Amino acid sequence: MFPAPERLGTSLREEPSRPFWIWILFWMILAAVYALTGLLCSDISAQVANVSWMFYIPSGISLIAALLWGARVWPGIFIGELTMAIFTHEPMASAIIMAVGNALDAALAGWWFRDRPGRRLEFNRLMDVISLLGAELLVLQPMSAAFGMFAITFGHPLPRAVLASTAGAWYTANLYAQFVMAPVALVWIQGVPPMKRRFEPLELAVFTLVMAAVGAFGYGRWATHGVPLTAMFVLIFPLLVWASIRFPTAVAVTAGSVMGLFAFDAGLVGEGPFAALAVGERMLYLNIFMAVTIASSLFLAAAMGDDRRFEDEQARLIAELREASTQVERLKELVTLCAWTGRVRWQNQWVTIEQFLDERYNVQITHGISEEALDQFLKDSEQARKKEAAEKEGLSGRPPDS
């Protein structure tokens, strides 16, 4: 019904036009999903203060929809944010301002990373990852946070002491949800190449078990106590490097997001390596950890994707060069044969076939006679004999022998 995910990155000009009622239905479904997940996050925020601000699920849904279907998703985001704000008893003016900010965020992301002609965002290209991170960090999320803070202060004047922390919470909640959800969803939608190595499935199974163990007992709610936080941070890099080098981009991106979610889950229940810290410090370390894991996985996966693409391009060029070299060698094998004398053009001279084969291929020549040639030779000899006999008979006046 809606534009297929495999058309990710195509321009509006390349897409077939769809009836307007389909887009209305799509906006209603998107708005419902957006509002329901937003209410879920709001409910968690009311139960677990501060920590739940780290992950605002609707923001991730918004970016995924924008990258898949373009700027036209903004009405669904606007309706979803407005509905959620009304259900949480926000003043109508504040609700509209927040809905405008989030809808504008989705519209700009969809236009810049999908609707432009020839644009295709891929997480296995380093420049695409850098452009997306830069746009989200420096343009889209600051803009969204500015709209949100204006809406909050417009409806509920806040003390100056909490303005910075509230703006930071808004910024990071949207940002981390987008970087946890959108890359994972999009790399799997774009497709994962088939496994090429013989034992790759077994290695992937081992990696999954190791990642789950490190996440659960290193950063998750069952974390081993007494291990320094610096050791916890360092422990993540070998896994990310392993995933980036040995597996497709989707595995590396998923690994970074999963490790961040282990720590986030532990923070929600007050467990894990950050449990002993004060709320402010816990939020700081959780911020740092999620930023490091997600950004590292994205950059490593994209860098390895560029490297694999370079190797594939090299292999393609080498194959083309070999094919061209083979064609050149074949051209060298072309032999010019005189149609009248049967001689061969070899080293700017006309030589016999025997000499050519001997000098070019070191072939030793022997001679024989085929059956056809022998029959023809015998016929020619018989005709010559009869002709000679006739001539002699004519001279002597006797009839030729029968």
**pLDDT per residue over 100-121, tens digit each?**
999 999 999 999 988 887 677 7
Residue 51 has pLDDT above 60, yes or no: no
Higher per-residue confidence, 70 vs 377? 70
The residues pairing with 350 across neighbouring beta strands, listed in sequence order, are 345
- Inform me whether the pLDDT recorded for 52 exceeds 50: no
pLDDT band at residue 11 using 50, 70 and 90 as cut-offs: very low
For 273-284, what is the mean pLDDT?
68
pLDDT reported for residue 398 = 55
Residue 13 has pLDDT above 50, yes or no: no
Instruction: Find the mean pLDDT for residues 66-84.
Output: 93
Per-residue confidence (pLDDT) for residue 8, from 0 to 100: 47
What pLDDT, in 10s, does the model give residues 234-252? 778 888 888 888 888 888 8
Distance, first Cα to last Cα, the chain: 97
The segment with the largest mean pLDDT, out of 72-81, 124-133, 387-396, is 72-81
Mean pLDDT across the stretch 308-313? 82
Residue 271 pLDDT > 60: yes
Q: What is the mean pLDDT of residues 320-338?
A: 75
Give pLDDT tens digits for 180-207.
Answer: 888 888 888 877 778 778 888 899 999 9
Average pLDDT over residues 309-329: 82
Higher local confidence (pLDDT), 20 or 399:
20
Structure-derived torsion over alpha carbons of residues 179, 261, 55, 231, reported in degrees to the nearest 10: -90
Q: What is the pLDDT of residue 6?
A: 43
195: left (phi over 0), alpha (psi -120 to 50) or beta: beta
Three-class DSSP labels, the chain: CCCCHHHCCCCHHHCCCCCHHHHHHHHHHHHHHHHHHHHHHHHHHHHCCCHHHHCCHHHHHHHHHHHHHHHHHHHHHHHHHHHHHHHCCCCHHHHHHHHHHHHHHHHHHHHHHHHCCCCCCCCCCHHHHHHHHHHHHHHHHHHHHHHHHHHHHHHCCCCHHHHHHHHHHHHHHHHHHHHHHHHHHHHHHHCCCCCCCCCHHHHHHHHHHHHHHHHHHHHCCCCCCCCCHHHHHHHHHHHHHHHHHHCCHHHHHHHHHHHHHHHHHHHHCCCCCCCCCCHHHHHHHHHHHHHHHHHHHHHHHHHHHHHHHHHHHHHHHHHHHHHHHHHHHHHHCCCCECCCCCCEEECCEEECHHHHHHHHHCCCCCCCCCHHHHHHHHHHHHHHHHHHHHHHHHHHCCCCCC
Higher pLDDT, 294 or 30: 30
Q: Write down the mean pLDDT value for the chain.
A: 80
Question: Using 50, 70 and 90 to split pLDDT, how confident is the model at 47?
Answer: low
For residue 330, what pLDDT is reported?
A: 65
Q: What's the mean pLDDT in 372-400?
A: 74
- Could you tell me if 132 and 141 are in contact, meaning their C-beta atoms sit under 8 angstroms apart? no
- pLDDT band at residue 314 under the 50/70/90 scheme: confident
The mean pLDDT value for 268-289 works out to 70
Whether the pLDDT of residue 402 is over 80: the answer is no
Q: What's the pLDDT at 78?
A: 96
Rounded Cα distance, 231 and 235, in Å:
6
pLDDT band at 223 (very low <50, low <70, confident <90, very high): confident
Q: Is the confidence at residue 157, as pLDDT, over 80?
A: no
What is residue 171's predicted lDDT score, i.e. its pLDDT?
82
Report whether pLDDT(31) > 90: yes
What pLDDT, on a 0 to 100 scale, did the predictor assign at position 74? 95
Q: Is the pTM of this model over 0.75?
A: no
Is the pLDDT at 156 greater than 50? The verdict is yes
Q: Please give the C-alpha separations between residue 242 and each of 127, 207, 388, in angstroms, as whole numbers.
A: 22, 8, 95
Q: Measure the CA–CA gap between 183 and 189, rounded to whole angstroms.
A: 10
Supply the pLDDT for residue 336. 80
Percent of the chain with pLDDT over 90: 16
pLDDT at residue 172 in the model: 78
